[in-house]
Structure 1
Amino acid sequence: MSFALYMIGFLIFLAGLIWGASVAGVPTLYIGIGTLVVLGIGIFSAVGRTRGKDPS
């Protein structure tokens, strides 16, 4: 799976979380902080899953 495809799916997932948090009444500051943390985790996992294996 390509990095771009993984990130598009993750961004759609993140948008759903943000929307749900705003509907639930979570303050904007906490939504922003949570978004940055989850986005960082998403980038780390996308790089780890799409990175090619190093030759021996």
Structure 2
Amino acid sequence: MSLGIYLVGYLILIGGVTYGMHLAHIPQHWIVVVDLVLVGAAILTGVTSTRQKDPS
């Protein structure tokens, strides 16, 4: 799998979560916190899933 595919998927997820939180009238600072956590999870998941194994 490509890192780009993971990141595009997570960007769609983050956009949907952000929009839902906005519609639920959640304060903006909490939306930013959740977005930062999701971006971190996206990077960790994408890198660990697409990383090549180191040669022995």
Counterparts of 1:6-45 in structure 2, within 5 Å, are: 6-45=6-45
For residues 1-56 of structure 1, the C-alpha deviation after alignment (integer angstroms, 9 at most, x for no partner) is 11011100110011000000000110001000110111111101100001011122
Q: Give the TM-score of the pair, scaled to structure 1.
A: 0.92
C-alpha RMSD of matched pairs (Å) = 0.7
Q: Give the TM-score of the pair, scaled to structure 2.
A: 0.92
Q: After TM superposition, where is structure 1 displaced by more than 6 Å over at least 4 residues in a row?
A: none
Match of 2:51? Answer: 51
Cα distance in 2, alignment partners of residues 12 and 37 from structure 1: 15
The answer for unaligned runs of 5 or more in structure 1 is none
Counterpart code for 2:27: P
The answer for unaligned runs of 5 or more in structure 2 is none
- Percent identity between matched residues is 39
